[in-house]
Amino acid sequence: MAGEDQELVAEGERRIEWAARNMPVLAEIARRWRRERPLAGVRVGACLHVTTETANLVLALAGGGASVALCASNPLSTQDDVAAALNGRLGVPTFARRGEDQDTYYRHILAVLDTRPHLVMDDGADLISTLHTQRAELLDGVWAGTEETTTGVLRLAAMEREGSLRVPVVAVNQAQTKHMFDNRYGTGQSALDGVLRATNRLIAGSTLVVVGYGWCGRGVAARGRGLGARVVVVEVDPLKALEAVMDGFWVTDMAEAARLGDLFITVTGNARVIRREHLELMKDGALLANAGHFNVEVDIPALQALAQSRRPARENVEEFTLADGRRLYLLGEGRLVNLACAEGHPAQVMDMSFANQALTLEWLAKDRPPLERRVLPVPADIDARVARLKLESLGVRLEELTPEQRAYLSSWKLGTTG
């Protein structure tokens, strides 16, 4: 390996260790696994963002006896030093390079599938969909899968509805210790981190339009307000829109929001939520960022078609100049801004998401539960265990119910007294 690569390996190792310091729950599981080896002989194929946090997850799996192969779940999220470290001394075959083109991206997914995994881990469902479409002959050897993110769960649910899902998949995203923390606090912080690193713009006093008020949107809106932005929310679901109103945000439709925003962050999981008719209304200098899984939320072909010229404005920022001279700025090619322009969610929150992944994989490998070929929930006891372990690691004391309170809660006999 060239000297430069050795430096990359060393940098990756240092940063993986840094993340490990903030992943105590995963570390506890990894310690136990090194003794018990619950994954001995199990082949795991993982398609996840190749970050320092993911490195700690795959190292825990390998320490528990699994043979792991990893590829990226987004062409622009790979941290090359992490991939180098995993491929180097850490010994986990990792097929990923930041900025890889679409062909390479899918070639890397096939390389992972070619290791004939028993268990697959996905983030966005590209691995599982490719397994069904291009490597269907391997399906019989796959016991089950896990899915990390909202978009992936929606895609897999569509496969299930259509009757084409041929492996059981556990929706890790649906665990409460995943989406209530990772999606809200993780995306909330890391999406703004991506915008700040890419642009170095002041958020205070600016108008931030958050498109989508699911768990991620709630987090982005709350953190945007914390930084001093006037936050406008766009939402299609009446209940979520009402919640945003009661949370104190200005809620309106995309046509009005388009005129107001200095910065737009899409977090809907849907396609073309910012379209040509909205781009035509935007202010000169507006920033466009996406924190949803795929790069389809901003209509990039429409932006390209509207532009008279385009050029890089700075790293991860592309300037599009429209016919009337207005300039719009697209961050991170419209891909996940937190991973394309920053480092993704902080380790403290990935600790819980990946503890869910780890304990779910252990359950799938050890118990080999008979599961239907459907999208399935994380067992409730795993979710509760992750919460308890996280609280313990934070040194937080939990109150206990007294026997009397337990009896009270399970009885209907006591009502109004006095």
Binding site for ligand ADE (CB under 6 A): 48-49, 51, 53-54, 186, 339, 344-345, 350
Whether the Cβ atoms of residue 257 and residue 231 lie closer than 8 Å to each other: no
Beta carbon of residue 338, minimum distance to ligand ADE (angstroms, whole number): 6
Q: Which residues of 13-26 are buried (b: 16+ CB within 10 A; e: fewer)?
A: bebbeebbebbbbb
Beta carbon of residue 216, minimum distance to ligand ADE (angstroms, whole number): 10
Whether the Cβ atoms of residue 309 and residue 351 lie closer than 8 Å to each other: no
Shorter beta-carbon distance to ligand ADE: residue 278 or 345:
345
Beta carbon of residue 344, minimum distance to ligand ADE (angstroms, whole number): 3
What is the H or E stretch that residue 413 is in? Answer: none
What 3-state class would DSSP assign to 307? strand
What is the H or E stretch that residue 403 is in? Answer: helix 403-409
Return d(Cα 317, Cα 197) in angstroms, integer.
Answer: 10
Beta carbon of residue 349, minimum distance to ligand ADE (angstroms, whole number): 8
* Tokens linked to 406: 């337990």
Shorter beta-carbon distance to ligand ADE: residue 49 or 155:
49
Residue nearest ligand ADE by beta-carbon distance: 344
Q: CB atoms < 10 A from the CB of 411, how many?
A: 8
Shorter beta-carbon distance to ligand ADE: residue 95 or 320:
95
Nearest Cα residue to 117 out of 141, 148, 152: 141
Shorter beta-carbon distance to ligand ADE: residue 13 or 53:
53
What is the H or E stretch that residue 175 is in? Answer: none
Q: Which residues of 223-256 are buried (b: 16+ CB within 10 A; e: fewer)?
A: bbbebebbbbbbbeeeebbebbeeeebbbbebee
Shorter beta-carbon distance to ligand ADE: residue 207 or 353:
353
Beta carbon of residue 362, minimum distance to ligand ADE (angstroms, whole number): 19
Shorter beta-carbon distance to ligand ADE: residue 241 or 350:
350
Beta carbon of residue 83, minimum distance to ligand ADE (angstroms, whole number): 13
* Tokens linked to 248: 């104190």
Return d(Cα 228, Cα 219) in angstroms, integer.
Answer: 14
Return d(Cα 389, Cα 369) in angstroms, integer.
Answer: 24
Name the DSSP class of 323: T
Shorter beta-carbon distance to ligand ADE: residue 53 or 299:
53
Beta carbon of residue 46, minimum distance to ligand ADE (angstroms, whole number): 11
Beta carbon of residue 54, minimum distance to ligand ADE (angstroms, whole number): 5
Shorter beta-carbon distance to ligand ADE: residue 78 or 129:
78
* Tokens linked to 74: 């987004």
Cβ neighbours of residue 179 under 8 Å, at least 6 residues apart? 150, 173, 215
Shorter beta-carbon distance to ligand ADE: residue 14 or 406:
14
Beta carbon of residue 201, minimum distance to ligand ADE (angstroms, whole number): 22
> Residue 289: exposed, middle, or buried by beta-carbon count in 10 A (0-12, 13-18, 19+)?
buried
